[in-house]
Structure 1
Amino acid sequence: MNTYVIGIDGGGSHTRVAVADGDGQLLSYVEKGGCNRYHDANAEQHVLGGIAEALEQAGIKGEQVAAIQAGMAGLDREEEFAWAEGVLAQTGILGRRSAVNDTHIAHTAAFNGRPGIVAIGGTGSLILARTEQEIWLRNDQFGHYAPTAARFLSYDTVHSVLAGRYEPEDHSFIKQMLAYWNVRSVPELAALGTAGFAVDKQAMNRKFSQMAPLVTEAAIQQIPLAMRVCDSAADTAVVGILMLASCFHSQQVSYTLTGSCLTSSYMKAAVQKGLGQNHSSTSREFNYISSELPAVGGAILDAFQLAGIKVNQGTPAALQNQLQAYGT
């Protein structure tokens, strides 16, 4: 029986590929560009290149892989899963192949099959719950969306400035923002907006996403505009978590946050504060879980399950320690 597995954490900015043996020993780790085909035209090449390189580093061939779990951003509709499955079919891997939204592997990394809620706010945004009855629920099933993705924080900030919704205390931050866009004034920024900010939508989304650290850092520095933007986004995440928690039987619900925006110190504190308030209508208590295992480790655990390989209780911690050596 083949006992090698591959885990993939494919986000909008990075694709992380790891190969492990049946004992949980990490054999290789490779990082490429983003794998969301709506944000990166080279998404397919990043996935295939990452897998090929990881296999080569591990010294094994695709036919020796018992299972691969690929958590990939942007997988929501049937045609998107079909695209992902078609990409994995090109790898030569003969074992079990699975592609899921990257929120699923983040959930496994945090809860390893236990009930809980994970909210992602990075390049993308999604809230995923697994109930005590092992039912998977997503906030978008309810028509809900939390604009905690990086580009939306920046959109809201830029739009507020262009609308003139800022105070004198915001001026230093606005100067930083104008410098980021390489313009000298708000009217010049407006002129840039009339041209679409960039050459195409992908480039525009990338530019706005890369601006987000300016917003979250400004919020930490108590800049009113940035605080207002972050507070609003965090509150929508709180609403989404509360909504999914209403489907749990237990009064105590565990949750975790992941992604560069939601794990920034200001946003994390805002969500925790919102969930820590007394919600008299639900009487629920929320327990924050600090997930130390990276999402690619969750993908490896999923791949073990797909392959029918039993792992011991110490495997998640062992994977965490090994992945830390690669800076993940």
Structure 2
Amino acid sequence: MQNSSQPATVPTSPAVPTAPVLSPEVADALATGRPVVALESTLLAHGLPRPENRKAADQVEDAVRAGGAVPATIAVLDGVPHVGLTAEQVDRVCADPELAKLGIRDLPIAAALGRSGATTVSSTALLAERTGIGVFATGGLGGVHRHASDTFDESADLTALSRTSLVVVCAGVKSILDVPATLERLESLSVTVVGYRTTQFPGFYVADSGSSVDWSVQTPAEAARVFAARRGLAPGAVVVANPLPVDQQLDAELHDRVIADALAAADAAGARGKDVTPFILGHLHEASGGASLEVNVRLVLRNAELAGQIAAELAALPR
């Protein structure tokens, strides 16, 4: 007969792996204090068409190295976050059309169920910070969608950046969003925003969104010092908005006309929520004859190189 004084055995489930796995190169760089730049994988899996995305993956990592840092592309594979991918893992991210898109809210589901997915700005920022990476390069941030007062449609990127401490180098936000409202939300969330050699906030495909920012930095060293000061004061990101040169942007007249047409087409097609952005970007790609894709890759490469330079300056500062 069982002794009633003995506590009952409670079955336990195996631990769910949530700690990121670092590539040997990234682990060594972090251990020795060398600069590292985080890169999202949603751009590769969902933002660029195949097979151009695989070529761009190498180009972006090369741009980070040109800036003086080690690239760390981030993705979740079979439930495990990976920071720094092998060539074979990048192949997998770029080739799998069923790869999920994982924001912060989706990470626990992928971890618990062993699923794979590409990381967005929000989840990349979280995993980068947990790993000890202080700089992150992306194309453009998510933001407040047009008509958000009716739909409450706002990217999780914004709140994530208010809680994670790192530099995010971007080309602003896509101009299909409500740019003034996005800047207001970033201010309300106390996210530091600076223009890189400009006080005009970029509109992703175009150098000037029509909105401005209060502050600018002129060098990677200044951006690194701003983040070092921010890190010593309070949690939260420093957004470095890096516009394309005007002679490299998408033709402004074409951009405005196509965006207006795409927004009308999306409304007529009943596109809602997360379906709006890919619908409009697909429309823009087709109407621009592929020029928008070229601009997209160009701006990401510029952001990656600048992020590498900022990471190198940050690594040289005393902690």
TM-score, length basis structure 2:
0.32
TM-score between both structures, scaled by the size of structure 1: 0.32
Task: Using CA pairs under 8 Å that are at least 6 residues apart, name the structure with larger relative contact order, 1 or 2.
Answer: 1
